[in-house]
Every structure is written in structure tokens, then in C-alpha cells.
């Protein structure tokens, strides 16, 4: 082998080794400047050609070309390798560790009391009722007088309350909201429900609480009769407690309605046969209702000869307790997550 080719091979091996050892872009760049540029050691080799003649010139020229090509290829491979390594390192460094547990938020739930309120409002608004609310703090006048319960009326006994002054109290039922709505309606027909809080001086036990919820209903128009009341309440009760419920009207007494009824549904446990849940009667009392008393209509600006109406009052907790099988009214107010969670829709 001719001397210049031996030198060329030696140089090539050295350059290839340098390229091979370059670990980053900077080192590779300096190899390029030193060994691959026009002023490089490799280009310098070209001058050796002048000392050769004939065949050797050709052989050396060819060797020179293939060496350049080999080194350039090696260089390009290395450049690619370093670039890919850099990207990989960057990705590695910027990787988000998704194995870390995220921040969890404990979701609350809607108290079953309000779930039932929403459901009842849905049923009545679907029948065309408007929702009106009355104040929690009432005057004696609205709470009692306007509901046909004058001073010294025995019905007051059952509705002792928390008095703010001699004549203002926390309302004992939602019925006074009827009077406010009638005043506002100014003699026009009405079809409303009034959900809200009520208060009584009661000893708290499994079925009584000093604060509880009611939904009051009132319809006033010409030719409203007991049949309308019955149809309305049957529809409502079957929506709430199932289509199979028997609905029973028992005559009763409320000062603000005449006639008055108490409404029962057939027991969902025994379907009317009699069991401990319905105390052997087959029925469960669910609400009070009746035809609006002429005195109430008159006090509210309606002529009882022209207008008639029906009203009803539903205990919200009672409905919720029956629907969800809750055995103690106090559970609705204690804010115990173990209770609330059982009614959270997932």
C-alpha cells in the first residue's frame, strides 16, 4: 500500500474515533472545524496527491473521496444521535409524574329535605302552580286572624310559637302565606304553592321538631270544588309515592277550611293490609286540606258567592321520612355526613 493511503487511513481512524467520542454538540462542532472543514487536516491530505503519479494518483483520489464520504456519514449519524439524546433528556426532565395522587375535593350532597322539596315543586309546577313564599316572621294578624283563628280560639293552643313581640312571632304554619298571596292577587284567581319553614314550641322527639317545613297549596277561582282538590292531591300523592297508592279522604277540622279533610295513602309496606308501619290501619296520614273557608275568602277580598277555592298543607319532613324510610326527624337537621351521604346522587 502506498504511503499516502496509509496516512489517510490513520487520519480517518483518528477522526472517526474523535467523532465517536464526542458526547455533545459543542465537541462535535469543534471536530467538524478541525477535521472536516476546508482548512482541516483531512483537506490538507489532498496536497499529498502532487507527490504521486499515474495509477497511484487515481487510487489515492478515490480513497480520499470514499474516506470523506465515510467520515461525513459517521458525522451525520453522530449529530442525529446527539440531537435525539438531547430531546430524550429534555423530555425526561420535563416529564409530569402522573403517579402522584391528585388533590381530591369532598363533594357535599343535597339534604334529602331539599331533594323532596324540589321534587314536590316539580310536580306542582307541572300542574301549573306558581311558587310564592311568605315571611318566616309573621304578625299575629296574618298567622292567626287571617286564617280564621281569632284570639282565644282553641286552635291556637296547638300552635304555640316563639314570640318576638306580643304581636309578632315565628310563623306556626305556611298558611299565612295564603293571605299574603291573596292580598297581592287583588281579587284575581290564584294557583300557588308556598314552601317554607314553620316553628312551634314543641318538645323535640323522633317525629316533632321546633322547626320544620311545609308546603302550602292554594287554588282560587270560580267553580272550584272538592272534586278538584281530590284529583289534584291524588295525582300529587301517586307521583310521590307510586301509582298504586290508594288515597283516602277523612273528614277533619281546620279553622281556615270548610269542609276540612285529612288525607291518607295506603301503606307502602303492607299495601293496606295493616302492619306496624301503619299501626295496623293500612293507611298513613299524609296531609291536611279543605275548601277555603268563606271567612278567609272574604277577609282576603274575594266574594265567597262568586269565588271558591281549595287549600292544602303538606309536612315536608313527613313526606321525606316516608319516601326514604327515615325514622327520626332530627336527622334532617344534624348535618351528619353519614346521613346526608346516603341520599347523594352519584
- Residues lying near ligand DAH in the complex (CB under 6 A): 173, 175, 216, 254, 257, 288-290, 311-313
Q: What's the min distance (Å) between Cβ of 313 and ligand DAH?
A: 2
**In this complex, which beta carbon is closest to ligand DAH, that of residue 124 or of residue 254?**
254
Q: What's the min distance (Å) between Cβ of 319 and ligand DAH?
A: 13
**In this complex, which beta carbon is closest to ligand DAH, that of residue 59 or of residue 295?**
295
Q: Is 184 exposed, middle or buried (0-12, 13-18, 19+ CB in 10 A)?
A: exposed
Radius of gyration of the chain from Cα atoms? 46
At which residue does the C-alpha cell 317525629 appear?
207
With residues binned 3-state (H G I as helix, E B as strand, rest as coil), the percentages for the chain, rounded to 5, are: 45, 20, 35
Peptide bond into 259 cis (omega under 30): yes
Q: What's the min distance (Å) between Cβ of 224 and ligand DAH?
A: 13
| Best CA proximity match to 260, nearest among 269, 247, 251 | 251
Q: What's the min distance (Å) between Cβ of 336 and ligand DAH?
A: 27
**In this complex, which beta carbon is closest to ligand DAH, that of residue 258 or of residue 328?**
258
**In this complex, which beta carbon is closest to ligand DAH, that of residue 88 or of residue 250?**
250
d(CA 106, CA 112): 18
Q: What's the min distance (Å) between Cβ of 174 and ligand DAH?
A: 7
Q: What's the min distance (Å) between Cβ of 262 and ligand DAH?
A: 8
Cβ–Cβ < 8 Å for 259, 290: yes
| Cβ neighbours, 10 Å, residue 50 | 8
Cβ–Cβ < 8 Å for 273, 266: no
**In this complex, which beta carbon is closest to ligand DAH, that of residue 213 or of residue 313?**
313
**In this complex, which beta carbon is closest to ligand DAH, that of residue 144 or of residue 332?**
144
**In this complex, which beta carbon is closest to ligand DAH, that of residue 213 or of residue 288?**
288
HEC string of 270-323 equals: CCCCCCHHHCCCCEEEEEEEEEECHHHHHHCCCCCCCCEEEEEEEEHHHHHHHH
Q: What's the min distance (Å) between Cβ of 114 and ligand DAH?
A: 20
Shortest-Cβ-distance residue relative to ligand DAH: 313
Amino acid at each position: 500500500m502506498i504511503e499516502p493511503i496509509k496516512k489517510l487511513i490513520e487520519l480517518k481512524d483518528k477522526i472517526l474515533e474523535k467523532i465517536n467520542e464526542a458526547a455533545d454538540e459543542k465537541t462535535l462542532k469543534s471536530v467538524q472545524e478541525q477535521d472536516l472543514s476546508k482548512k482541516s487536516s483531512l483537506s490538507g491530505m489532498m496536497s499529498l496527491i502532487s507527490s504521486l503519479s499515474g495509477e497511484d494518483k487515481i487510487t489515492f483520489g478515490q480513497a480520499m473521496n470514499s474516506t470523506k464520504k465515510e467520515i461525513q456519514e459517521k458525522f451525520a449519524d453522530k449529530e442525529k444521535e446527539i440531537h435525539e439524546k438531547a430531546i430524550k433528556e429534555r423530555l425526561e426532565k420535563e416529564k409530569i409524574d402522573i403517579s402522584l395522587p391528585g388533590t381530591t375535593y369532598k363533594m357535599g350532597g343535597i339534604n334529602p329535605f331539599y331533594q323532596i322539596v324540589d321534587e314536590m315543586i316539580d310536580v306542582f309546577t307541572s300542574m301549573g302552580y306558581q311558587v310564592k313564599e311568605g315571611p318566616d316572621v309573621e304578625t299575629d294578624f296574618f298567622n292567626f286572624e287571617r286564617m280564621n283563628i281569632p284570639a282565644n280560639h282553641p286552635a291556637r293552643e296547638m300552635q304555640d310559637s316563639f314570640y318576638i313581640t306580643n304581636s309578632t312571632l315565628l310563623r306556626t304554619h305556611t298558611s299565612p302565606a295564603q293571605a299574603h298571596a291573596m292580598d297581592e292577587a287583588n281579587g284575581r284567581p290564584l294557583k300557588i304553592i308556598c314552601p317554607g319553614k314553620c316553628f312551634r314550641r314543641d318538645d323535640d322527639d323522633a317525629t316533632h321538631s321546633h322547626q320544620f317545613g311545609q308546603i302550602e297549596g292554594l287554588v282560587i277561582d270560580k267553580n272550584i270544588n272538592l272534586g278538584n282538590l281530590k284529583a289534584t292531591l291524588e295525582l300529587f300523592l301517586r307521583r310521590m309515592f307510586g301509582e298504586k297508592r290508594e288515597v283516602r279522604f277523612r273528614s277533619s277540622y281546620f279553622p281556615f277550611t270548610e269542609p276540612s279533610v285529612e288525607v291518607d295513602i295506603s301503606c307502602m309496606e303492607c299495601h293496606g293490609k295493616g302492619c306496624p308501619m301503619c299501626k295496623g290501619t293500612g293507611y298513613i296520614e299524609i296531609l291536611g286540606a279543605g275548601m277555603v273557608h268563606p271567612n278567609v275568602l272574604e277577609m282576603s277580598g274575594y266574594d265567597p258567592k262568586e269565588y271558591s277555592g281549595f287549600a292544602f298543607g303538606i309536612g315536608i319532613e313527613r313526606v321525606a321520612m316516608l319516601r326514604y324510610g327515615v325514622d327520626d326527624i332530627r336527622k334532617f337537621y344534624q348535618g351528619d355526613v353519614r346521613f346526608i351521604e346516603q341520599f347523594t346522587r352519584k
